[in-house]
Amino acid sequence: MDKSFILFIAGGVIAAYFLLGFLKQLDEEDLAKHSKSHQEKTVETVGYEKEDIVGRAVLDVSSLSEKEQIQKWNQSSLKSEFLYFFPDFEEMRLFVQDHIVGEYLKTKMLESIDKAERDYVGGGLSTKEAKSQIEFLE
């Protein structure tokens, strides 16, 4: 019984070694993929995407014209994160308040969310139409 117990422990240690090696390799690949996608951000939005004091990503377009604010939003990596919250309209509003700096863009987005929510809840828009209305600012 002592021999089988020792073999069992040795087998467990070997399995744990290989499992941890595999997990470390996956983590390194994920980190490399993340840093590569971070580097591939478009040059146009890099100067406007910043981190606030808490470490959240923020799009600061306050110094741009109205048309440029919308253009930078459409190029921003924050847009997909914002659309993830659909159809939780309240969470989308909070996202805009926390992640957008630029009064025109912020107002335009909040108006778009309000309109889409009214039409969606009222049954005038399908889910796809409501999401599309929020996604593409004019």
Per-residue pLDDT tens digits for 35-85 = 555 444 434 445 677 777 777 788 888 788 888 888 888 888 888 888 888
* Secondary structure of residue 114 in the 3-state scheme: helix
Q: What is the pTM of this model?
A: 0.60
- Which residue, among 87, 66, 64, has the nearest Cα to 135 in the 3D structure? 87
pLDDT, tens only, 89-106: 888 888 888 888 888 888
Two tokens, residue 108: 């335009």
